[in-house]
Structure 1
Amino acid sequence: MANPPTIIVTRPSPMGESLCQELNDLGYRAIHCPLIRFTANTDHSPEQQLALLAQHKLWIFVSKQAVDFALRDLSREQLEQFLGHTLIAVGKATQKALQPYGLSALVPKTPDSEGILALVNQFSLPANYPILLIRGDKGRGLLEQELNGPYQLGALPVYHRIELTAALPPAMQQASAEHPVAWVVTSAQLLELTDKMLATAEIKPEQVAIIGGSERISDLARQKGYTNCYTATDASNAEIIHACLDWRKPASV
């Protein structure tokens, strides 16, 4: 196959390998270049974590990792006691991650903090309603800022994001304005790390296409000078692949 479009996937394992495999199957040249990894946050004991889950009647999961690190050690009996809780998942991939645990969640119209806030506002919850934000140890802070006043907000940081040292993929040596290389970035942190790596290597924005996992990520990329941006409806593999197709169809299609 002659000159298939090249896509660099910055997602951590195992999601990055999964997306690369699907892209390669479609005829792209997908290269995994993970820039972060996830580890469990053990600040809360299992008993403390279970108590927080029980005390709050509305849970907000900000990522698939939030689901897995919060629920993976719970028994089926423990999970069943939460069937009456209201759950919000930031996007479809996070919603899907809840299915193996026997739980379902609502999804906002946009897969971001603004979408979550709009969905919470639709509930017309009483003051001091107990809401639990299940997240990593870093984030925008917008949800805490907006929800902490009107409601009884709890936070359960269940994972750490660890930055990885990665070398610039050799494929970038052939990148040009005529033949840009696409980078899949699904979070603001990944965008920052991607931009730092490209700037250090003196790669120009016109040599790059950004496949953003949300409109917010694409907007941030444009602010950094990347005008060649394509946006997935959410960060699921299927929607990222749709955005890649919008960018460039592979030679096999």
Structure 2
Amino acid sequence: MKVLVTRPSPEGEELVNNLNKIGIPAWHFPLFDFYPSVSSISLSKKINELYQSKIILVFSKKSIYFTNLYLIKNNLEWPSNVKYYAIGKSTAFFLNNYIKKKFFFLKKKKIVKSC
């Protein structure tokens, strides 16, 4: 039996390499990739909603990375008056690099909450 890794590159490829190194056969087949938006429906048209939000859910480090690029390019900062929730401990730590808020971790459910 082989493990099918659907995580986007380069993280998915890294995971497959690590699994193969320890003797667990694995394939990399990403279901999606992340790129900066070039569509007419982009963050620039949604920025007011971002700042009016009470809660922001974050699911990936890539979404944090590309949102942060947009904010820097437009001389904006992450909203400070919202509660951030990150799915996964590593995503929460990555988000913490940008918003500098204290996080609380639920040990059993792996959902991360920021105050």
Distance 2:76 2:66 in 1: 15
Unaligned runs of 5+ in 1: 124-253
Q: How does 1:48-197 map to 2 (within 5 A)?
A: 48-75=45-72, 78-79=76-77, 82-104=79-101, 105-107=103-105, 109-111=108-110
Aligned residues: 109
Out of 17, 30, 33, the residue aligned to residue 21 of structure 1 is: 17
Equivalent residue letter for 2:90: A
Amino acid corresponding to residue 85 of structure 1 in structure 2: V
Deviation readout 1:155-214 (Å, 9 max, x if unpaired): xxxxxxxxxxxxxxxxxxxxxxxxxxxxxxxxxxxxxxxxxxxxxxxxxxxxxxxxxxxx
Q: TM-score, normalised by structure 2?
A: 0.63
What is the identity, as a one-letter code, of the residue corresponding to 1:49?
K
Aligned to 1:233: none
Question: CA-to-partner distance for each residue in 1:40-70, whole Å, 9 max, x for gaps?
Answer: 4541352x33322222232121333432333
Letter in 1 for 2:18: E
Cα drift, residue 13 of structure 1: 1.4
| More relative contact order, 1 or 2 (CA 8 Å, 6+ apart) | 1
Q: Deviations over 1:100-158 (max 9, x none)?
A: 424445555525xxx68xx7xxx9xxxxxxxxxxxxxxxxxxxxxxxxxxxxxxxxxxx
Q: Which amino acid aligns with 2:76?
A: Q
Give the alignment's Cα RMSD to 1 decimal.
3.4
| Structure-2 change in CA distance of 1:36 and 1:82 (3 Å) | closer
SS of the equivalent of 2:64 reads: helix
- The answer for the alignment partner of 2:42 in structure 1 is 44
SS at match of 2:16: helix
Check the 8 A contact 1:62/1:90 in 2, yes or no: yes
The letter of the residue matching 1:110 is K
